[in-house]
Amino acid sequence: MRGGMSRVYICKDTLLRRKVAIKFVDDPEDERRLLDEISALQNVRSKHVVQIYDVFRDESAPCYGIVLEYLEGPELSIAGAGEDSLARYVSILYQVASGLSDLHNQGVIHRDIKRDNIREDGSGIVKIFDFGLARFSEVNSETQGFAGTFGYAAPELYPGDARFTTAVDVYAFGILAWYLSGEDPPSSLAPVRQGNPPSFSSLALKIPPNICDLLDGALAIEPTARPSISLLRGALEAYLLKGSHKGLLVTSNSVRTIDASHASVRLVLSDKPGGNEWVIGIHYNGFAFVVKEVTADVLVNNRLVSAGETLPKSCVITLGGNGDKRAFATFDVSNPEVVL
């Protein structure tokens, strides 16, 4: 198969009995791009970035070849606009955001995020590939002439002497999010940005408002106004983990679990019948454990707590005054992981 500047052969590794993709550039003068891809991939460790297996030089060409993990899954897509489609949509975006977050944390800017450069592997894991335009943060960050894909490229990339940052990947991620929704992107977005697009909240998928806000921000014209990919990843992860947390509340005489099936609990301490009373009510809203009620002074990790605050994932709750009548409880939250 052919890409924009390369040839890719699907081969069988007879020793390890697996399919691999071997990539060569068409023009020896473009060999630098292949070497850039090798440099970008060789130290990256991410579940959502294609793996590099080997590099060799083909003396018959002569040119370098790069042996890559073969992604045999289908093109990314969702179907319909129901709850299942929204869950798949968020799952795909979460995996892409995870791969980009890993890249950015290791100093790599992809610069060509688009649907054609993202695919599922044989087990359904979404992975980013094609690093021919990748660069390292703060290194050679000026481009001469346009490099990227029209429609996905951030506005700041069109000038011939553009400087790029991780924000260009965030913009492309926002465009990808629109394409994956199954609806045609607005004319203000493609092929070249013109004006402000409608909000993601207008899509039939009914994307949660906090995620819509971040995706809208990803398409900001000013690079500094775009959220980080890690922030996007966190919001997408929170949606996928909704309702799966468990809180364990331990007192001197009881152990209680707070979760989606038993979402609220109330602790009460009285110093005597009809006397002083200390109360804390905790509620699980599907995302976090929130203090819904407080009566008198209640401490969390030795700090006064108020209604509306989110409890830490691990803390000590203290009820009672400075006298002998005091009660303590420990509260711990499980750390669920996204299952793909």
| Distance in angstroms (rounded) separating the CA atoms of residues 231 and 210 | 11
Active site residue 112: yes
| Distance in angstroms (rounded) separating the CA atoms of residues 97 and 223 | 17
- All residues at 6 or more sequence positions from 69 whose CB lies less than 8 Å from its CB, including other chains: 20, 21, 50, 51, 52, 53, 121, 127
Q: Can you state the percent helix, strand and coil of the chain, rounding each to 5?
A: 25, 30, 45
| Distance in angstroms (rounded) separating the CA atoms of residues 25 and 66 | 10
Comparing CA positions, the residue from 35, 73, 40, 71 lying closest to residue 55 is 35
Q: List residues bridging with 56 in a β-sheet.
A: 65
E strands, the chain, are 6-13, 18-25, 52-58, 63-69, 108-109, 118-120, 126-128, 135-136, 247-250, 255-258, 264-270, 277-284, 289-295, 298-300, 303-304, 314-320, 326-333
Tokens of 163: 């400087």
Name the active-site residue from 112, 161, 324, 332. Answer: 112
Active-site residue list:
112
